[in-house]
Amino acid sequence: MSDRPPRRRLLREFGFLYATVVALAFGLPLSTGRVRKDGDLIILTGLPRWAFRRGGTTVGRVYLTHDNVGEAVIRHEKVHVEQWRRLGLWMPILYWLAGTDPLKNRFEIEAGLEDGGYLPRRGVRR
């Protein structure tokens, strides 16, 4: 019997953990704001705007932002955490291949374009 599925899972988990550690090593020294946890998401605020793209960036389970921490955005970023968990270090490659237009990027669409601030809110989300 092959050990490929467990090995793949271990590689994904290692990639997820590695990305989280790198994001913390990068973000913690730059963070001048509040650092907190929301579920599995670690939120680093007060970062300089050059340190992330758009309103913020999630790497592993770390969300790097200046002050973009509304409830909907956090819900959006938690989906990105699950994407990182599922794909490990394939995430940045596949995200890049999906393109920079959030309206066409499958990862942004899955995370919710309205929650991510890419589309205006149409109604109250339950």
What is the layout of strands, in order, in the sheet containing 62-65? Answer: 35-38, 41-44, 62-65, 56-59
- Phi then psi for residue 40, to 5 deg, are -90, -5
Question: Looking at the DSSP assignment, which residues form a beta bridge with residue 41?
Answer: 38
CA distance 39 to 37: 6
Average pLDDT over residues 93-98: 98
User: 3 versus 67: which is more confidently predicted?
Assistant: 67
| pLDDT grade for 5, boundaries at 50, 70 and 90 | confident
Say yes or no to pLDDT of 7 above 90: no
Q: What is the pTM of this model?
A: 0.91
Task: State the pLDDT at residue 56.
Answer: 98
Res 117: pLDDT: 96
- C-alpha span between 126 and 36 (Å, rounded): 24
